[in-house]
Structure formats: C-alpha cells, structure tokens
Amino acid sequence: MRHDHAIIIAVAVGAVAMGSAAAVADGVPITITNDGTDDVVVTVYDLNSQTRNIVMQGERINGFTSVPISVTPGPDGLAHVAWKAINVNGLTRKCGSANRVDLGQDATVHVRANKDCAKT
C-alpha cells in the first residue's frame, strides 16, 4: 500500500513540474547581443506584458556577448521589447536605445551604445 502511495506522489510531483516547465516555455525566447567592443549596461522592457515589465535591469553585457531572456508573447505569438544601453567606458559616455516588434522565437536583439546620451 505504501508503495502505491509513493508512486502516486511521484507521478503527481512530475506532473506539477512538467506544468511549471510548460508555463516557462510559454514565453518567447530571444537573445540580447552587445554589438560593440565596449561593455554596456542594458535594461530591457517587455512591452507585451500588462505592466511593461523590466525583464533585464542594468545588466552588464561584455563586448560581443549575448544573453538569453524570455518575454511575453503578444496575441500574434510575437515579442515586443524596448531597450536602453549605456557604455561602461568612463572616458566618453555613450548611450543607445530602440524598440523592436514582431520578434519570433530565438530572435536576436542587437544593442549598442554609440550615440551621445543627450540624443537618445
């Protein structure tokens, strides 16, 4: 009898774990890539979420490095994000920002900080 209960509990725990994985998989996986040689500090906003969640806040990304994230799909199943970046080089402060729409699964969002901060 105890053996039967253990099997039932193991199956239930497995089902819950699979349900949690499915919930995470419901997001749209995208990659944030630093296009420059300078390290940048990046903030990414999920514009499909009801509260426009910050999905990456002030994360340092080294030059030519990528970071995977997952964001909320829109009604069409595609992602919509905005990003802001500031270079880490203290000699000349540079910034960048953009808005990207219609991002499918495994899309890459290229970030850079190559403009005067007053112009972004």
- Check the CA dihedral 62-84-44-57 and report its sign: positive
Does residue 5 belong to any structural domain of this protein?
no
Establish if 86 belongs to a structural domain. Answer: yes
Q: Which domain holds residue 107?
A: 28-119
Contact 62, 113 (CB under 8 A): no
pTM recorded for the entire structure: 0.77
pLDDT 10s digits, 36-95: 999 999 999 999 999 999 999 999 999 999 999 999 999 999 999 999 999 998 788 999
In a domain, 3, yes or no: no
Residue % of the chain over a pLDDT of 90: 70
- The domain tally of the chain equals 1
For residue 62, what is the domain's CATH number?
Answer: 2.60.40
CB 94 within 8 A of CB 116: yes
